[in-house]
Structure 1
Amino acid sequence: MILATALLLGAVVVGWWGPRVIGGLGPTTAIVCWPAAMAGITVSALAGVLLLVLPGHGPAGAITHVLHHCVSTVGHTNLPELDPAVAALSLAVAATVLVRIAASAARTARRQDAMRRPHLTALRILRPASNGTIPTLWIDHERPMAYSLGGRDRLIVATRSLVDRLSPEQLRAVLAHERAHLRGHHHQLVAVADTIAKALGFIPLMRHAPGVLRLQVELAADRAAVQECGLDAVRSALLALTAQPSPPGALAMASGDIAVRLRNLGRTAAGPRALRRVVAGFMAVLAVALPAIAAFVLLSAVSVLACPLLPSAG
């Protein structure tokens, strides 16, 4: 039982203190590391539950014996009567969490489908000009707005008043920003974070994920638009557009913390793109492994504390 407990505690440690570690990362790294840490917590917790439920705790005994023979001394062999109760409680908690996630995902999917359907209907009727492989639906509205809808039928929605309010360079920057959201699958990322946060909001890493990722995907889309259209065009477009409410599940150019985004516009990513991707990938793997690393540290600490520092003489 000691290995399962260590895995569960590792998930708890990362879930509560992970935001302090991951929160200061740049947009590209944060976008991959935050979901990776969420996945690591989930895998670690499920592994702990499985080790509690499996007969003989699966490979737990062999692993703990390799780490230190004293771990088995303070492990589940001394308290066998607790095993069924702990396993049943863990299964009940895991089942409750899975049901909550499934219900939250179903509600999110229904809400986004209901919101996307009228846009797609208008798109088929009006047949607007496509922007590459991503269609743009132009609608008549007095407010200058632009937002994107992800999913299988992805599209950009923009109001015709944008043409009157913005210069051609600014308009191009706005559309480039929205295309970056769609190409980066930012909508799906935020939707998954929203779903998990609603089910596991008592864990800080899960609770803060939607807000953090919404800001990070805006920073990443701003950076992509700067690379395509230039810094001045993106900055002036942000200043020209005021924050407007967007449909649920949509990502809009004039959303997020505009002040933070303006401050970050001039910050370019260090190093070549290939190197940045390698670093981001390494950090993502490390984030996934964080709960297991924390479990190993806890298990090692128990091993050291459980054994005498020196062997007894005789």
Structure 2
Amino acid sequence: MTAASALTAALIIGISLAVIGFFGPALLRHAAPALAKTPRLAATLLVGGILVWPTTLLALSLALAWVLAGPALLPQKAALVCEQCLTAANPFSVESIQTALPTVLLLVIPTVIAAMCTVGIAAQFMARVRCSRSTAARVQHEAYRRPLLGYNVSVVHDHRPWALTFSPRLGGITLSSGAIDQLADDELEAVLAHEQAHMDQRHHIVTALVDSIAAQLRWVPFIREAAEVLPDYLEIAADQQACRKVNTTALVRALLVLGEKKIPTGTIGSAAGTLFAAGPGRIPHLVGSSTGRKGYVPALAAGSQILLLGFVSVIVLLSYAIALLTGCSLP
């Protein structure tokens, strides 16, 4: 591979990054009809894109270190070790181009930025976990456990109908006495199946992780949009599982009774870390007619771009990982 072809490949990857990063929101909006049919696949696409975009940005900078060679900033022996590691990590035979940019900066700067982002994401994630625990403790304080239609749930005395779920460790399915009183048995079973789906599919972990990443990278339009629409697809996925256990009509009636999200009494601010069985806005997805192949082209376009970026990230990062694990020994 010549240096020119390597730079051309890097340029193509850079363009793909820009297309997904800045035009991705438009693709997601146009792909919504197709994605709503397969919400679990849609959620995988969104989470994968959120993880892949910054990873590819890091990998692109590391790959450029194989092509661009500049003045050495390190002492001579350290520079020789760095050059040996670069050579060992490079899976291609690429000619280098001399530039004014020191090669070591292409390694150090993105690595430091990635480390800082990782620390920030971890801090955000732990803060959300603590907030969820605090919310669950307040809601569960006066709740009592009871079996209900084959589910073990927490019941809170509140005349308003609402149902939500925490992660299993924080109490799981929780609903108000008003919901039990106002929902028919099949409607109640549909709500419980919906909430159980959230726990079965680990939606609490997914939302906490995605929100933590988005908090650090909201300047990327695709990541911001993906984080905002992801909860909708998780709710649709839970609806689909509930409808497989109970009929769709029962779930639609239950959503009408529950109405919009209601924060449990005694909870200050938003109910952090909770997923609600609420929102009449989802009813069109349950009773609407098929949209044919509408949205399939932008969905395939977005998916193929994310797969391409993911493939590039794996090739580059795996090459560096193998080199480091083998002591940067030359083949």
Give TM-score scaled by structure 2 length: 0.69
Q: Distance in 2 between matches of 1:114 and 1:77?
A: 56
Q: Is 49-58 or 218-227 further displaced after alignment?
A: 49-58
- What SS does the corresponding residue of 1:101 show, helix, strand or coil? helix
Q: Distance in 2 between matches of 1:58 and 1:18?
A: 35
Kindly report which structure 2 residues correspond to 1:300-311, keeping only aligned pairs within 5 A, or say none: none
Are residues 224 and 39 of structure 1, via their aligned partners in 2, closer, same or farther at CA, if it must alter by over 3 Å? Answer: same
Question: Would the aligned equivalents of 2:145 and 2:155 in 1 still touch at CA under 8 Å?
Answer: no
Q: Distance in 2 between matches of 1:265 and 1:285?
A: 25
Q: Distance in 1 between matches of 2:25 and 2:171?
A: 31
Kindly report which structure 2 residues correspond to 1:246-265, keeping only aligned pairs within 5 A, or say none: 246=263, 247-255=271-279, 258-259=280-281, 261-265=282-286
Q: Distance in 2 between matches of 1:49 and 1:117?
A: 45
Query: Deviations for 1:64-110, whole angstroms, at most 9, x for unmatched residues?
Result: 64xxxxxx4xxx52215442344443234223322321221121121
> What's 1:184 paired with?
201
> What's 2:260 paired with?
243
- 2:54 counterpart of 1:42: yes
- 2:83 counterpart of 1:63: no
> What's 1:305 paired with?
none
**166, 181, 186: which one aligns with 1:149:** 166
> What's 1:30 paired with?
42
Q: How many residues align?
A: 269
**92, 97, 103: which one aligns with 1:83:** 103
Give the CA deviation at 1:188.
Answer: 1.2
Question: Would the aligned equivalents of 1:22 and 1:34 in 2 still touch at CA under 8 Å?
Answer: no
2:42 corresponds to which letter in structure 1? A
- What SS does the corresponding residue of 1:190 show, helix, strand or coil? helix
Q: Distance in 1 between matches of 2:206 and 2:19?
A: 24
Query: Deviations for 1:173-218, whole angstroms, at most 9, x for unmatched residues?
Result: 1111111111111111111111111011111222123321111111
Q: Distance in 1 between matches of 2:123 and 2:284?
A: 39
> What's 1:274 paired with?
none
2:25 corresponds to which letter in structure 1? P
> What's 1:14 paired with?
20
**275, 291, 295: which one aligns with 2:309:** 291
Q: Distance in 2 between matches of 1:113 and 1:283?
A: 39
Question: Would the aligned equivalents of 1:52 and 1:87 in 2 still touch at CA under 8 Å?
Answer: no
Q: Is 144-153 or 214-223 further displaced after alignment?
A: 144-153
> What's 1:116 paired with?
136
Structure 2: unaligned runs, 5 residues or longer: 1-5, 67-81, 264-270, 292-299, 314-331
Q: Distance in 2 between matches of 1:77 and 1:31?
A: 41
Give TM-score scaled by structure 1 length: 0.73
Are residues 16 and 283 of structure 1, via their aligned partners in 2, closer, same or farther at CA, if it must alter by over 3 Å? Answer: closer
Are residues 163 and 148 of structure 1, via their aligned partners in 2, closer, same or farther at CA, if it must alter by over 3 Å? Answer: same
Question: Would the aligned equivalents of 1:29 and 1:283 in 2 still touch at CA under 8 Å?
Answer: no
Give the CA deviation at 1:135.
Answer: 2.8
Question: Would the aligned equivalents of 1:4 and 1:47 in 2 still touch at CA under 8 Å?
Answer: no
Structure 1: unaligned runs, 5 residues or longer: 66-71, 271-281, 296-314
Question: Would the aligned equivalents of 2:161 and 2:182 in 1 still touch at CA under 8 Å?
Answer: yes
> What's 1:275 paired with?
none
Q: Percent identity?
A: 25
Q: Distance in 1 between matches of 2:12 and 2:108?
A: 18
> What's 1:128 paired with?
146
Are residues 99 and 117 of structure 1, via their aligned partners in 2, closer, same or farther at CA, if it must alter by over 3 Å? Answer: same
Are residues 44 and 79 of structure 1, via their aligned partners in 2, closer, same or farther at CA, if it must alter by over 3 Å? Answer: same
2:197 corresponds to which letter in structure 1? A
Q: Distance in 2 between matches of 1:115 and 1:52?
A: 46
Query: Deviations for 1:37-72, whole angstroms, at most 9, x for unmatched residues?
Result: 22222332332344467834456765364xxxxxx4
- What SS does the corresponding residue of 2:153 show, helix, strand or coil? strand
1:83 corresponds to which letter in structure 2? T
Are residues 170 and 210 of structure 1, via their aligned partners in 2, closer, same or farther at CA, if it must alter by over 3 Å? Answer: same
Give the CA deviation at 1:237.
Answer: 1.0
In angstroms, what is the RMSD of aligned CA positions? 3.3
Q: Distance in 1 between matches of 2:99 and 2:122?
A: 35
